[in-house]
Amino acid sequence: MDAFSRILAKLMTHPRSLAFIEPVDAEVCGALDYYEVIKTPMDLGTIAMQLHAGEYRSVNTGDGPLRFVTDVRQVQ
């Protein structure tokens, strides 16, 4: 998990990451169709909470790391 924490910290402190730290508030942004267009929303803050909750751990499988990578790639 230490590697995941380092990767996430680097992503969250990148100068262009500010818009990706918290979930999108579609109403505030005026993007009322956001959830119709973005079927699986993800943000770096949610990934951080899941990481700290141990949701990316895996025992004898690659499911945790694969899920971490999938979630990070979803943030766009």
Range of the structural domain that residue 18 is part of:
2-74
pLDDT at 54 over 80: yes
pLDDT band of 1, cuts 50, 70, 90? low
End-to-end CA, the chain: 23
Q: Record the pTM.
A: 0.87
**What are the tens digits of pLDDT across the range 2-51?**
899 999 999 999 999 999 999 999 999 899 999 999 999 999 999 999 99
CATH classification at residue 12: 1.20.920.10
Query: How far is residue 53 CA from its own chain's centroid?
Result: 13
Domain count of the fold of the chain: 1
